[in-house]
Structure 1
Amino acid sequence: MADLILHHYPTSPFAEKVRLILGHKQLAWKSVFIPMIMPKPDVTALTGGYRRTPVLQIGADIYCDTALICEVLEGLAPEHTLFPPAVSGAARIVAQWADSALFTAAMAYNFQPAGVAQVFAGAPAENVQAFVADRAAMRGGAARMSSTDATTTYKSYLRRIASMLHGQDFLLGSQPCVADFATYHPIWFTQNITSAVAGVLDATPEVLAWLERMKAIGHGQSEKMSSAQALEMAQEATPAALTADVFQDDHGIALGGTVVIAADNFGLEPTEGELIAATRTRYTLRRTDERAGTVHVHFPRVGFTLKKAAA
C-alpha cells in the first residue's frame, strides 16, 4: 500500500479526529504540516481549490473531508472497525451531528476571549486578525454563534454525551466507533488547546473519563514529510483504478463533463475538474496540476454540491 500522507496542522480539531483514528487502526502515516490559514498553495495544488484541514493523500489520490477519510481508512484497515454492524447507521448519524452541530457550538465556546488569548499567546495582533478574517471567509458571510448562546448549547450537548456514556465506556458500546472520534475532537480542543475555558467539562465527569480513554489510543506511528515531497509523490504516482460502480446520476451530468464541487456550508472554495465517478457515496474528479501531476480528487456526496462548470 502507498504511504498514507496526512496534510494537517497540530491544533486542527478535525485533524485530531483522523490522527486518533490512525492510532486506533495502528497505521503508519506521513505527517505534512500545512498553514492554518490561506494561502495554502501546496494543498490546493493537490485538491484544486478545497482548503479544509485535513486532507489525506495516497499516491495520486486525494481524499477531502473527514467523513470520507474515515470510510477510506476503514476500507484499508477494517480491523478495529469504525462502523460496528449493529450500530453502523447510528454511528454515522451521531458522527454527522458531532462534526456539525457539536463542532459549531464547541468552537464558538472555545473562541471566547480567554480561549483566543490562549491560542494566540505571544502572536502579533495581525495574526489574530488574519485568522478571524480567514474563518469569516470560510463561513461565506454566515454569522458565528455568539459565545453566550454557544455556552448554553455546549453545556446541553455535554450533558447528552454524558448520558450516552452512562454504564458503558464509549458512546455506542464497549469499543470506540466513528461516533466517538467525531465527538472527541471539538472537546479535545476545549481540554487541550483552550484549557483556560475547559472548566465547562467539570460538570460531566463521565465525559472527562471518556476523554482520557480516547486520548490513550494515541496517534500511531508517524514520520514527518515535507509538502514538496508529497507533491513529488503525487507527480510520480498513478491514481488507483476506479471500482466498477462509478456512476449513479442524480444531477443530469454525464461522466466526462467538467464540473465544480464545493462544500455546502463551510470552506466553500470550489474544485473544478472532470467528473469520472459518481458512486452512491462519493464523487471523483480528475484534474492535472503542473506541480502535482494528474490526480483523482475524491469528495463525499453528503455535505457537498455538484454543478456543471460555467461555460
Structure 2
Amino acid sequence: MPDLILHHYPMSPFSEKVRAVLGFKKLAWQSVLIPTVMPKPDLLTLTGGYRKTPVLQIGADIYCDTALICDVLEHIQPSPTLYPAGQKGLARTLAQWADSTLFWAAMGYNLQKPGMAELFAGLPIDAIKAFAADRSAMAQGLNRPRPLDAMGAYKSYLRRMADMLDGQDFLLGEAPCIADFAAYHPLWFTRTQVPGMAGILQATPEVLGWLDRMAALGHGQMSRMTAAEAIAVCADAPAATGVTDDYFQDDHGIALGSLVSVSAESFGAEPTVGELVAATRTRFTLRRRDARAGVVQVHFPRVGYALKQELAT
C-alpha cells in the first residue's frame, strides 16, 4: 500500500469528499494542511501552478482534481467500490452533475452574507476580504447563480435527492458510490460549516438521514505531516511511477515529449506547464522539475481540463 498524502484544509468541501472516500475505503493517509487562499508556495512547488484543493501525493506523483483522485483511490483499494457494476456510467454522470451544478447552487446559498459571517466569525475583516478576493479571482468567467436563484435551485435539488433516497439508503442503492460522495460534500458544508444556514435541509428528512450515514463512514486513519516533509518525500522518491497505461490517445496533434500546459476549463484555471509524458483515455500527465521537489509527475483528468502546446524557451 503506497503512502497517501493529502494536501487540504479542514473547511474545504472537495477535501471532505476525498476524506469521506478515504473513510469508506478504510485507508490510512497523511494530512498536510495548506492555506485557504493564495499564496500557496509549498503546494505550487509540487503542482507547478494548479492551486485548487485538495491534491493527492504519492511519492513524486501529484494527482489533481477529486474525480481523478477518486479513480486513483479505487485502483489502490478496489473494495468497497465507488463504481458499482452496471451503474458505472450513471454513477460518474451523476457525480459530475453534483460536483458542478449541485455544488454551485449549494455554495451560492451557503455563502450569502449570513453564511459568510458565520464562517468567518471572529476573524479580522482583512481575512474575509482576502478570501472573497481569492475566490472571485478563481471564478473569473464562471457563470454562477445569484443567491436567491441558488437557493431555489438548491431546494429543488434536495427534493430530487430525497426522491432518489426513497426506499434506499444511498443515491443508487444500498451502498454508497461516487455519486454519493460528490453530492455529499456541498451539503456537508451547509450542515457543518454554516449551520445557521442548515434549515434548508429540514424539509427533506430523507436527505438528513443520508447525511448521517455518509458522516458515519469517517475519514480513515489520519496522521500529520508538514509541507516540508511532503516535499522531501517527493524529492527522495526514486522515480515517479504513476503512469501505468502506455496507451496514447492523441486528440490534439501534440506529440509526447512536447512542452505543454494543462489548465481547468472553468474555476481555478491557473496552468501547469511541463513535458507531456502521457495522454491516456482518462488523463494527462506532465513531467516537471523543481529545485525543491525534484522530478515531479503531475496528473490531470481529461474531462474538465484543457491541453495546450507551449513554445519552448
SS in 2 for 1:31: strand
Which residues in structure 2 correspond to 1:35-54 (within 5 Å)? 35-54=35-54
Query: How far apart are 1:300 and its partner, in Å?
Result: 0.1
Write the deviation string for residues 221-256 of structure 1: whole angstroms up to 9, x where unpaired: 000100000000000002116324241100000000
| Cα distance change of structure 1 residues 246 and 295 upon mapping to structure 2, 3 Å threshold | farther
Note closer, same or farther for the CA distance 1:202–1:239 as it changes in structure 2 (3 Å cut): same
1:279 matched to 2:255: no
Q: Which amino acid aligns with 1:108?
A: G
* % same residue: 62
Secondary structure, in 3 states, of the residue corresponding to 2:171?
Answer: coil
TM-score (norm: length of structure 1): 0.98
In structure 2, do the counterparts of structure 1 residues 96 and 241 end up closer, same or farther at CA, with 3 Å as the change threshold? closer
Corresponding residue of 1:79? 79
| Separation of aligned partners in 2, 1:178 and 1:2 | 22
Could you tell me how far apart the structure 1 residues matched to 2:142 and 2:175 are?
37
Amino acid of the residue matched to residue 267 of structure 1?
G
Letter of the 2:47 counterpart: T
* Gapped regions of structure 2 (runs ≥ 5): none
Shift of 1:77: 0.2
For residues 294 and 90 of structure 1, what CA distance do their matches in structure 2 show? Answer: 37
Report the 3-state secondary structure (helix = DSSP H, G, I; strand = E; otherwise coil) of the residue aligned with 2:93. Answer: helix
Kept in 1, the 8 Å contact 2:142–2:267? The answer is no
After TM superposition, the structure 1 stretch with the greater mean CA deviation from structure 2, 284-293 or 234-243, is: 234-243
Q: What is the rounded CA distance, in whole Å, between the counterparts of 1:222 and 1:150 in structure 2?
A: 35
State the partner residue of 2:70. 70
Cα deviation, 1:141-199, whole Å, max 9, x if unaligned, reads 43542110110000000001111101100000000000000000000000000101100
| Residue of structure 1 equivalent to 2:20 | 20
Are residue 243 (structure 1) and residue 209 (structure 2) matched? no
The aligned residue for residue 226 of structure 1 is: 226
User: 4+ residue runs of structure 1 moved beyond 4 angstroms?
Assistant: none
Unaligned 5+ runs, structure 1: none
Give the alignment of 1:130-149 within 5 angstroms. 130-149=130-149
Which residue identity is paired with 2:190?
Answer: T
30-39 or 233-242: bigger deviation: 233-242
Structure 1 residue identity aligned to 2:301: P
* Preserved CA contact (<8 Å) 1:246 1:276: no
* Alignment pair present for 1:182 and 2:182: yes
Q: How far apart, in 2, do the equivalents of 1:280 and 1:235 lie?
A: 29
Say which SS state the counterpart of residue 37 (structure 1) adopts: coil
User: Residue 95 of structure 2 aligns with which residue?
Assistant: 95
> C-alpha deviations, 1:45-69, integer Å up to 9, x for none?
0000000000000000000000000
CA separation in 1, counterparts of 2:67 and 2:44?
19
Verify the 8 A CA contact 2:170 2:176 in the aligned structure 1: yes
Which residue is 1:254 aligned to? 255
**C-alpha deviations, 1:198-234, integer Å up to 9, x for none?**
0000000000000000000000100010000000000
Q: How many equivalent residue pairs?
A: 311
In 1: Cα distance, 2:110 partner to 2:202 partner: 15
The structure-2 alpha-carbon separation of the partners of 1:161 and 1:75, relative to structure 1 and needing over 3 Å to count, comes to same
- Decide whether aligned partners of structure 1 residues 72 and 244 sit closer, same or farther in structure 2, where only a CA change above 3 A counts: closer
CA distance in 1, matches of 2:269, 2:107: 19
Residue 294 of structure 2: aligned partner? 293
Secondary structure of the equivalent of 2:217?
A: coil
Label 1:177 to 1:241 Cα distance change in 2 as closer, same or farther (>3 A): closer
Structure 2 Cα separation of the partners of residues 247 and 299 of structure 1: 15
CA contact (8 A) 2:22 2:28 kept: yes
Question: What do residues 33-85 of structure 1 show as CA deviations (whole Å, max 9, x unaligned)?
Answer: 00000000010100000000000000000000000001000000001100011
What RMSD over aligned residues (CA atoms) do the two structures have, in Å? 0.9
Matched residue type, 2:124: P
Provide the secondary structure at the position in 2 that maps to 1:86: coil
Distance in 2 (CA, whole Å) between partners of 1:21 and 1:258 is 34
Deviation at 1:86, TM superposition (A): 1.7
